[in-house]
Chains A and B, each alone.
Chain A
């Protein structure tokens, strides 16, 4: 069953044509990855989906419902959670408050407490830091917090923008393992990565973006084996 359908999306920043006729599909339960070099339009794609940027042409539908022009704060209530590029935790809020912000649209207080425990099960480090302001966390901890914050919304679809950026190899592995765990627990994931190799390892399918257009797509294994992909993104 299709959870997300982007069709022919064109996104502009002023005169800059950032996305050109982009179409992609995400099925329920999948991990789909979006790879491409700097400035290819990966972040813009995620921003269009979560309502931070609106396409000039084309449509975006969540579970068949059109959300092309829906504002971001409404989309957040529809089951999409977006972990933005660069983490963007609220540095002056405590770790706990950041997690509570993730659950902002929910009103079921008791479940929120239970979900806090679930997030701590995935990221035990956060529990030790609960009273600390998020600005004092290390980069890796901030990434965990940003992901934990998104999980607090109990999303159907999780958008991750370069979760491994700037992290040490050991942490990168841990983050990717968490992505797999989160997906196994029932959340569909759309993963943007520069680390194409790792991303294709955990993903079911992938799309390759180049200067705003989808140039290649398919099952993760076939992309891993693809000559062009290996040359351009896997450094071979």
Chain B
């Protein structure tokens, strides 16, 4: 009985768990960002934008290009790293967003009303076109088939997260207190906008509290260090996701997007220009896809014209897992998939004594997905009608 179990080093499994979790959450947020593009477009058009993975890839190229230009101009090392990152991520997002809008206008809108398969074929065509276009542009421009993200020194250091666990806990309590005071002060104001603003400290403190408590439990010796880069990618993803949740749930634009997703004809009776809202949806989806591309590139180093395919496919799966068309579902689906993949990647070979290597991680992750979908065919949140977080 002991022989089989003895092969597994439980102490090792436990020790690497926090790192695996961080990797999984990081990957999960990137999937979430991409998945939102699929799910929001599906929400308004009931159409899978298969070119979205290439929009992500273009974002990754733009992100690298911006950093390479900064490096060539000798400002990359001299300027604050977060500023360079901001430039890279913003450029990637904006260009990917505009690209997505253009694609919808040129390749999808003229086909509206055609049988459902037709725009799908068009999307696949756009995918190939973008792959070859990017390959051609960068072949001419840099004579390169792929781009490597230039290193940003600070990002390659490690942050002693374990040592700061107690501080994190204290900060969570402090932020919660600020939130409580804000809500008290705003009681008379009672404006919806203010209400949503006071949610910010609430959720920040909850998230920080969970992380701190988790660290204290998983890393009792307070020795865990996390790459600064991972924290930056996670932080940036969280920020973008929060802005999206705010826009979708608390603004007039977001309300119009949700109304169009539900019933285009009736939304137009309210005065909503449906085509405009569809364009905006592609813009937002492309924006997030592009940002995800730049963050993905920053994390993993190199991108080539075909880098979009696998993450795109996984993000699409994440969207289906969460319930296609459902915004919180896409976020949850991305996180679940990312964490599953990281767990499988690190633990499969350890637990199976090397019989299954890390290369089996996708098989494992997708098997779990298939299982979940067998029991919940509409996805994890597919039946939840209320789209509020």
User: Which residues of A are at the interface with B, using a C-beta cutoff of 8 A?
Assistant: 50-52, 71-73, 76-77, 81-82, 84, 88, 90-93, 97, 100-102, 104-105, 133, 135, 149, 153
Contact = CB atoms under 8 A, between A and B. Distances in A.
A46 to B, nearest CB: 10
Given A90-B262, A90-B263, A90-B266, A105 B271 contact: yes
A52 B259 contact: no
Interface stretch (B75-83, B136-144, B250-258): B250-258
Given A88-B263, A100-B255, A101-B259, A82 B386 contact: no
A133 B385 contact: yes
B267 A93 contact: no
A73 B387 CA distance: 25
B10 to A, nearest CB: 46
Interface residues of B, number: 20
B269 A93 contact: no
B269 to A, nearest CB: 5
Given A92-B386, A104-B272, A52 B265 contact: yes
B271 A52 contact: no
Contacts of B256: 101, 104
A133 to B, nearest CB: 6
A82 B265 CA distance: 11
B258 A91 contact: no
B258 A92 contact: yes
Given A71-B268, A72-B269, A97-B258, 10 more contacts: A52-B269, A76-B269, A76-B271, A84-B269, A90-B259, A90-B263, A93-B255, A100-B252, A105-B270, A105-B271
A62 B273 CA distance: 20
Nearest to A150: B269
Given A76-B268, A105-B270, A133 B386 contact: yes
Nearest to B255: A97
Interface in B60-108: none
Given A84-B266, A104-B256, A92 B387 contact: yes
Contacts of B273: 73
Interface of B: 252, 255-256, 258-259, 262-263, 265-274, 385-387
Contacts of B386: 92, 133
B270 A102 contact: yes
Contact of B271 (A77, A90, A97, A133): A77
Contacts of A92: 258, 262, 385-387
A50 B242 CA distance: 38
Closest 8 CB pairs of A and B: A76-B271, A105-B271, A72-B268, A88-B266, A104-B270, A73-B268, A101-B270, A73-B273
Nearest to A98: B259
A172 to B, nearest CB: 23
Given A90-B258, A92-B387, A93-B255, A104 B266 contact: no
A71 B386 CA distance: 30
B274 to A, nearest CB: 7
Contacts of A135: 385
B271 A104 contact: yes
A101 B259 CA distance: 8
A82 B269 contact: yes
Contacts of A71: 268
A101 B267 CA distance: 8
Nearest to A88: B266
A100 B272 CA distance: 12
A107 to B, nearest CB: 10
A77 B267 CA distance: 13
Contacts of A133: 385-386
A167 to B, nearest CB: 20
B385 A52 contact: no
A104 B271 CA distance: 6
Contacts of A88: 263, 265-266
A72 B258 CA distance: 18
A93 B266 CA distance: 13
A131 to B, nearest CB: 11
A203 B387 CA distance: 41
